[in-house]
Every structure is written in C-alpha cells, then in structure tokens.
Amino acid sequence: MVTDMYFGKKQIPVSNGGKTYYGCCENCKETLSKDSKARTAIDPVTGKPVDKAKAVIAARSDNSVIYFENKKTFEQFSKIQSPNSAHGEHTQH
C-alpha cells in the first residue's frame, strides 16, 4: 500500500525479498519493487519502523490505514483513540 489507503478492492500482490506487499496500480507495483521506504511504515504507538508485509493494519473512518508492529500495539492505540478513528483489523503475512 503505497498510498496507505484502504480501497475496498483486490490489490496487486508484489513479491520482494520473500514477502508480499500490495499496490493498487502498476505505478504502486513498481514503487514497491524499487523503493524500500514504500515497504515500511512507523508504528504510531512505539515509533518503530514496521514492515508492511508483516504489519497489523487498521483502517480509519476516512479509509486511511495505520500499520502496527503487532496486535498489542494496535489494541493500545485503540484504547487511546476515539471509537471511530480506527476500526477493523487485517494482518498481512
């Protein structure tokens, strides 16, 4: 997810280093293949880098997504946010 948005449609899988990432178009596919920064995010609880292929992903009400190191940091974030700020959970492996 280069744009860090939930689109509600099937994404294009991109394999890199034995991991699978997802993009919405050919441009995203190319970016994910070539740019390591596009394959990582920062966990908002710990401030640590997170590999998007292994992250717990939550969608916000505006369809933006947030990446977490694990379910524990997702749950910590959920407790301090308003009920509608982060919903759902999806783990990519």
Which of the four pLDDT bands, split at 50, 70 and 90, describes residue 1?
low
Could you give the angle at the alpha carbon of 15 between the alpha carbons of 13 and 17, nearest 5°? 155
For the question of whether the overall pTM of this predicted structure is more than 0.85, the answer is no
| Mean predicted lDDT score pLDDT of the chain | 87
Asked if residue 4 belongs to a domain, the reply is no
Specify if 7 maps to a domain. no
Question: 76 lies in a domain?
Answer: yes
pLDDT, tens digit (0-9, with 9 covering 90-100), for 52-91: 999 999 998 899 999 999 999 999 998 887 544 554 544 4
Buried-exposed string 36-67: b where 16+ CB fall within 10 A, e elsewhere? eebbebebbbeeeebbbbebbbbbbeeeebbb
Predicted local distance difference test score (pLDDT) of residue 37 = 95
Residue 75 domain-assigned?
yes
CA distance between the termini of the chain: 14
